[in-house]
């Protein structure tokens, strides 16, 4: 269990510590958790309200919850504040939620339950802060826990968690691990209506403007665009919930990217476009900290091009590169050499596994080709030709995937090497200080 950290109470004018933490987070960091090797970084920028730059109400956090006697559990979080005190609510959530989750997640604990309990605890924590009015202020929260070889994701609001997975050779597919909790979702709207809330867009001069919002019946408050959030006590009696929606995502050898983004990013960029851009930049050898910066800047340029004049939302992105290899030697990262016999056995087993996978894929594709040939009157020659073409396709896909993995791993090794040098420099300095 990680040591209990000092609780820091943030006020609107006292968010400098969180801002310094955010600035430091735009540095690529690397670690290995079980069979997953990870490089990650984040970036955030304040938006504009039409009269110039405004306070950034987005907050983020990336923390290793357990890295001593047990495999590390990595906590990623993005929090998007709204309302007069939304920045304070988001900062408190970013500071305290990792601790609450850590306290609820013992060595043999269930991470999904720990996340549910953590969200409940942070909601109560917000209500207990003296002088903090959460009646019309709150924040979204999207959290991803990397636990061994699994991502456990909890979300309340319209921030988003995405994974990028190789499928079909060089194609990278975006997997949305969260739903945007808005009145546009039927089950979310039903909960609001059942609780006595009203759903309607904002009315301006008798004209409906913007997305559907949550209102009191017969009143013009609170007008939330989301149906789940932290804080927002006025909206809780209208069915707006702090309880997150939790999902699990088992990592495979094809998974390469992780992204957590606020809705400032997704307003004018689809999930697939976000992953495509990350893949494009990563394949060119760009490090995660620069990819996160580019993603935020691209989103801001979209706001300026397509949004209302002068309006730009706060934009936040956490970007991670993943390499999952169940058979990869952990000693390789530490520079240790394994025995020749055991290494040969692993290499032999890998070759067998790859050969079996290629043969199975060839058989599947050959079957599809045979069916097509049969419908056109083809015979055995068509089957053989289809099998050869399928085998060639599988080999090409394997080569393409291998090239992508190699490029990503080169990037990650550079980051890991930099981290090792930092540790060595810190140890040397500590030794010099003692002398």
Is 24 among the domain residues? Answer: yes
By residue range, what is the domain housing residue 51? 16-180+245-324
- Domain boundary residue, one of 298, 324, 350: 324
Say if residue 424 is in the same domain as residue 354.
yes
157-215 residue pLDDT tens:
999 999 999 987 678 999 999 999 999 999 999 999 999 999 999 988 889 988 999 99
Is the same domain home to 252 and 159?
yes
Asked, for residue 369, whether it belongs to a domain, the answer is: yes
pLDDT at 20 over 50: yes
Do 279 and 399 belong to one domain?
A: no
The residue out of 324, 342, 362 marking a domain boundary is 324
The predicted pLDDT at position 381 comes to 56
Count: domains in the chain: 2
Same domain, 126 and 159: yes
> Average pLDDT for residues 1-21, to the nearest whole number?
41
CATH of the domain at 269: 3.60.40.10
Question: Are 313 and 364 within one domain?
Answer: no
In this structure, are 39 and 160 located in the same domain? yes
Same-domain status, 84 and 164: yes
Of 299, 324, 349, the last residue of a domain is 324
The answer to whether residues 169 and 299 belong to one domain is yes
Q: Residue 118: inside a domain, yes or no? A: yes
Query: Do 351 and 250 fall into the same domain?
Result: no
Would you say residue 253 lies in a domain?
yes
92 lies in some domain: yes
Give the tens place of pLDDT for each residue, 206-262.
899 889 999 999 898 999 999 999 999 999 999 999 999 999 999 998 999 999 999
Q: Spell out the SS3 assignment of the chain.
A: CCCCCCCCCCCCCCCHHHHHHHHHCCCCEEEEECCEEEEEEEEEECCEECCCECCCCEEEEEEECCCCCCCCEEEEEEEEEECCCHHHHHHHHHHHHHHHHHHHCCCCCCHHHHHHHHHHHHHHHHHCCCCCCCCCCEEEEEEEEEECCEEEEEEECCCEEEEEEECCCCCEEEEECCCCCCCCCHHHHHHHHHCCEEEEEEEECCEEEEEEEEEECCCCCEEECCCECEECHHHHCCCCECCCEEEEEECCCCEEEEEEECHHHHCCCCHHHHHHHHHHHHHCCCCHHHHHHHHHHHHHHHHHHHCCCCEECCEEEEEEEEEECCCCCCHHHHCCCCCHHHHHHHHHHHHHHHHHHHHHHHHHHHHHHHHHHHHCCCCHHHHHHHHHHHHHHHHHHHHHHHHHHHHHHHHHHHHHHHHHHHHHHHHHHHHHHHC
Is position 238 within any domain?
no
Q: pLDDT tens, 141-157?
A: 999 999 989 999 999 99
């Amino acid at each position: 269990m990680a040591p209990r950290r000092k609780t820091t109470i943030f006020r609107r004018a006292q968010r400098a510590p969180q801002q310094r933490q955010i600035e430091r987070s735009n540095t690529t960091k690397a670690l290995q958790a079980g069979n997953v090797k990870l490089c990650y970084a984040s970036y955030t920028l304040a938006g504009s309200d039409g009269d110039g730059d405004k306070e950034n109400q987005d907050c983020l956090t990336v923390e290793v919850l357990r890295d001593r006697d047990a495999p590390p559990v990595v906590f990623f979080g993005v929090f998007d504040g709204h309302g007069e005190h939304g920045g304070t609510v988001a900062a408190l959530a970013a500071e305290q939620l990792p601790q609450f989750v850590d306290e609820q997640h013992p060595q043999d604990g269930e991470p999904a339950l720990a996340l549910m309990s953590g969200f409940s605890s942070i909601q109560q924590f917000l209500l207990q802060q003296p002088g903090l009015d959460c009646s019309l202020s709150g924040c979204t929260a999207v959290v991803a826990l990397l636990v061994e070889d699994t991502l456990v994701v909890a979300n309340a609001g319209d921030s988003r968690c995405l994974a990028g997975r190789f499928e079909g050779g060089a194609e990278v597919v975006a997997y949305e691990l969260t739903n945007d909790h808005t009145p546009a979702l039927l089950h979310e709207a039903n909960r609001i209506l059942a609780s006595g809330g009203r759903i309607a867009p904002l009315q301006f001069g008798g004209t409906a403007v913007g997305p559907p919002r949550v209102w009191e019946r017969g009143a013009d408050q609170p007008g939330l665009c989301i149906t789940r959030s932290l804080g927002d006590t006025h909206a809780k009696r209208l069915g707006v919930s702090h309880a997150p929606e939790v999902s699990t995502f088992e990592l495979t050898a094809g998974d390469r990217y992780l992204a957590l983004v606020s809705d400032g990013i997704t307003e004018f960029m689809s999930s697939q476009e976000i992953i495509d851009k990350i893949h494009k930049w990563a394949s060119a050898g760009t490090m995660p900290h620069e990819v996160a910066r580019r993603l935020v800047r691209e989103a801001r340029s979209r706001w300026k091009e397509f949004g209302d004049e002068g309006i730009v939302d706060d934009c936040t992105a956490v970007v991670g590169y993943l390499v999952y290899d169940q058979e990869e030697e952990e000693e390789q990262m530490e520079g240790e050499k394994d025995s020749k016999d055991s290494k040969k056995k692993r290499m032999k087993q890998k070759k067998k596994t790859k050969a079996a996978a290629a043969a199975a894929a060839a058989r599947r594709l050959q079957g599809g080709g045979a069916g097509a040939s049969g419908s056109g009157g083809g015979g055995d020659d068509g089957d053989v030709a289809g099998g050869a073409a399928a085998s060639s396709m599988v080999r090409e896909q394997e080569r393409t995937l291998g090239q992508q993995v190699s490029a990503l791993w080169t990037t990650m090794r550079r980051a890991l090497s930099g981290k090792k040098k930092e540790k060595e420099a810190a140890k040397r300095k500590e030794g010099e200080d003692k002398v």
